[in-house]
A and B are shown apart, each in its own frame.
Chain A
Amino acid sequence: MMKSNTSVSQPVLRVRNLKVDFPSSRGRVRILEGVNFSLYPGEILALVGETGCGKSVTAKSILNLLPRSGVHRHGEVFLDGCDLMKLSNAAMRPFRGRRIAMIFQNPQSSINPVFTLGEQIFRLIRMYLSDEIKAVQQRLNISGRAAVGQIAKERFEEVGLTDVERLLKSYAHQISGGMAQRYRIATALLSSPEVLIADEATSALDVTVQSHILKLLRSLCRRKGTSIVFITHDLGIAAQMCDRVAVMYSGRIVETAPTLSIFEAPRHPYTQGLLAAVPRLGSGKRLANIPGMIPDLANPPAGCRFHPRCPQVMACCKEEKPPQQDIDEQHQVACYLYGEHVPCLPTGHSRQPQGAIVE
C-alpha cells in the first residue's frame, strides 16, 4: 500500500506551524501549538489522538471554518503553493468543497434537513460540474435538467446507493446513517477534490457499515487521485487503511511515521502508551493504560505537554518543548529521548530516564 514515491513527490497539502488560540473565560487558550504535516498525492494520512487533542480544530482551521470571533490562527497552510491562511472568506470559495472537501462525524446532521437530497446534490452539480453537464447533454441529447439528474444518478451509484429515484426525494431524517454517509461521500467527491478531510467519518456507524464506508473511501480516492486526511481515534482504522499515521497530543503532532513503523516501533512514549491501551483480539491480557489525564489547555504544563504522564520523563522535558527529531526520512518524533538536540540545561543533568516504563 505504501506509495514508493511519497518521499520524492511534492506534497499536495503542507501545514506549517499552525497555531490556533480560542478565547475563554480564563484567558486565551492555545488549542493548537504548532502543527506540522504534509500530505502527499494519493496518500491516506491518519490523524489520531484522544478527545480534545485538536484533531478537528486542525481540520477546520485548514478550511477556515472556525468561528471568526476571537479565534486567532497563525501559521501556513499551502495547497499547491497557495497559502490558504492569507485568503479572505470570499477568496476561499474556490477551495472549499471544490479542492478541499470535508466529511463530518454525524452524517445526518451535516445534511441540510429542509431540502431533499436531490435539491442539494443538483445545486452542487450545477455549481461544480457545468462542463460535465454540457458534455452529458450533448452525449445523450437531453435537457440540462435531465443531465443534472443523470449525473446525480451516476454519482449515487458510484457510492453504492441504490433506489436513486426515491433517495433524491428523501430528506436527511428519512435515510439511515450508512446511506447518509455514502451520500456525503458522493457530494464531497463530486468535484474530484485534491484533498478530502474525513473528520471521524465512521465513528457514528456500526462496524459492518463502517467497513463498507472505509472500502468505498479507499477505492474512490485511489481512482480519483484524492488524498485523504483521515481523522480518527480508532487505531484499528489507521492500521487497516492508512499509509501514514500522525499521532496528536494536546495540540501538537508528537509522532509521524509510515503505518507499519508506527505500529511496530513506536518511539514517542505517548504513542507507546496509546498502542498498549488498544484492546486486541486474542491477547487476553490486562489492558495497559496511561496514568493521569489530558492536560488542561487553559493552563498547560510547561515544556513537553505529555511530561506529567510520561513514564520516561527527564528534567529537560519540563522546561522546553522538544523539537521534531528525524528517526529516519519518514519517521519524525517530538521527544528528547531521540536525537542529539538537548537544550541548555543546568549542570548535573543527565539524559537518563527518571521513571520506569509502566506495563
Chain B
Amino acid sequence: MSRACRQAIHASLRERLLNKAIIQLNQVKTHFPYRKNWRGQPAEWLRAVDGVNLDIVAGECLGLVGESGCGKSTLGRSILCMAPVVSGSVLFHGKEIQGLNDAKLRPLRPKMQMVFQDPRASLNPKMTVLQILQEALFICPGFDHRRSLERSAELLDTVDLRPEHLFRYPHEFSGGQQQRICIARALATEPEFIVFDEATSALDVSVQAQVINLMADLQQRLNLTYLFISHDLSIMEQVCHRIAVMYAGRIMEVQRAQALFGSPRHPYTKVLRDALPVADPRQRRELATLPGEVPSLVHPPSGCRFHTRCVYATDVCRDAEPRMSVIDTGNWVRCHHHEHLQANDELKAQPLNRSTEIKETP
C-alpha cells in the first residue's frame, strides 16, 4: 500500500473513529487464578490483561505489539470471549458481548474469527481441506453439501490456492499454504473482524511477504477489520494503520503506524524500535537494550508498569499511574513524561529534573 493511499485511509479513519468503532474495550481485565488458598479459592491472580481501553475502527488494521508474556494473545482472546474476562466491557457494534452465554454468542461468532500462529497445529490432520472448510460453512445457514463444495473452491481461490487442493490433507502443504488455508477457514463465515495472533511469525521471510500481501488485499476487497498481534515491529509497519503497544497487561501507546516509528511517545516504544536489527549494514548502530526482566504479572509494579526498566523514570512514575494523554483522535500515550520526551527529540538517558517533571497530563 502506498504512503499516500495509507494517509487517505487514515484521514477517513479519523472521521469514522467516533461513530464506527466495531470493537470497543472499556477497562477490560482478564485475570487467571494463580495460587489457591486452603479453601481452594484463588488467592492470587495473574493479571494478563489489566484495564485495557481500546477502540478498533471498522476497516482498519490495528497492530498489537509487545514482548512475549505481556498479554497480547490474552487480549485478542478476550475480545472474542475466549478468555475469562473478570471485569470491564467488550462492545461489538455497540452491543455488550462480554458475559453472554454460549448460546447467545453463537450467532455472533461467525462475525469474529481468529487465525493462529502455528498453522500446522491449528488444522486437524485427519481432515481434508474440504472437511476443514465445510466444518466452518455448516454453522452458517443454508449450506448443503453441494453449495459448501462450491463455496470452498471459491474460498481457496480467494487465498490463491487451487480447487484440487480441496481433497488434500494439511500435511501435504507448506507452512505458507497451510496459513492460507487457515485464512480461508476464517473467511468461510464471512466475518467482519479477524484476529491474527502471530499469524506470520512461524513463516519464512519470502513466504511471510506472500501472506502479508494476501491479508492486505483481502482487507481492501472484503472490507475487513483486523487485529494483528505480533512481536515484530517491522512487519507491523507494512500492514497496520494504527499500532497499540502493550507492556505487562496494559496498553502504553496507540499511534498511527508511521508516527509510531517516526516519533515514538512512550520510552518503551522507543526501545522496541531501536532494538530492532535493521537489515541494512550502513545503518549499523548500537541496538537498544532494556535493563532487568519483564515484571511479574502476579505482582505488577506500582504506578507506571514500565518504571522499573525505564531510563527516564522518576518518583512520580513509581507512585502514580499515568493517565491516558490524548495526542489526537484515537491516538494516545500513557506516560508521565511524554511531553518532555517529545520536546527534545534526541534525549539523553538521564533522569529528569524533579522541578520539570511534574506535568499533569490532560
Q: Count how many pairs of residues, one from A and one from B, have CB atoms less than 8 Å apart in the complex.
A: 136
Contact: B6 with A284, CB < 8 Å? yes
B49-98 interface (Cβ within 8 A of A): 67-68
A83-91, A117-125, A287-295 - interface stretch: A287-295
Residues in A with CB closer than 8 Å to B205 are 50, 233, 235, 274, 277-278
Q: Does A164 contact B (CB under 8 A)?
A: no
Q: Does B126 contact A (CB under 8 A)?
A: no
Cβ of B340 to closest chain A Cβ, rounded Å: 23
Q: Name the contact of A273 in the complex, choosing from B206, B287, B294 (C-beta under 8 A).
A: B206
Considering the complex, give the chain A residue whose CB is closest to the CB of B277. Answer: A236
Contact: A280 with B67, CB < 8 Å? no
Known: A50-B205, A208-B271, A208-B290. A275 touches B276 (CB 8 A): no
Q: Does A286 contact B (CB under 8 A)?
A: yes
A150-158, A209-217, A220-228, A349-357 - interface stretch: A209-217
Q: How far is the CA of A33 from the CA of B349 in the complex (A)?
A: 51
Contact: A289 with B237, CB < 8 Å? no
Q: Does A1 contact B (CB under 8 A)?
A: yes
Q: Does B355 contact A (CB under 8 A)?
A: no
Q: How large is the interface on A (under 10, 10 to 19, 20 to 34, 35 or more residues)?
A: 35 or more
DSSP class of B's interface residues: helix, strand, loop or mixed?
helix
B137-145, B162-170, B209-217, B310-318 - interface stretch: B209-217
Contact: B206 with A280, CB < 8 Å? no
Contact: B207 with A293, CB < 8 Å? yes
Q: Name the contact of B261 in the complex, choosing from A176, A208, A237, A282 (C-beta under 8 A).
A: A282
The 20 sampled A-B contact pairs (Cβ below 8 Å) are: A50-B204, A50-B205, A176-B293, A179-B293, A206-B68, A208-B289, A211-B288, A215-B287, A239-B277, A260-B281, A279-B212, A279-B238, A280-B280, A281-B234, A281-B278, A282-B258, A284-B6, A284-B237, A287-B213, A287-B238
Show the binding face of A for B, using Cβ within 8 Å.
Answer: 1, 50-51, 176, 178-179, 206-208, 210-212, 214-215, 233-241, 259-260, 263-264, 273-275, 277-282, 284-290, 293-294
Supplied contacts A50-B204, A240-B277, A263-B282, 18 more A-B pairs, CB within 8 Å = A50-B207, A206-B67, A207-B272, A207-B276, A233-B204, A236-B279, A239-B278, A240-B284, A263-B280, A278-B205, A279-B235, A279-B237, A281-B261, A282-B261, A284-B3, A285-B2, A286-B1, A288-B209
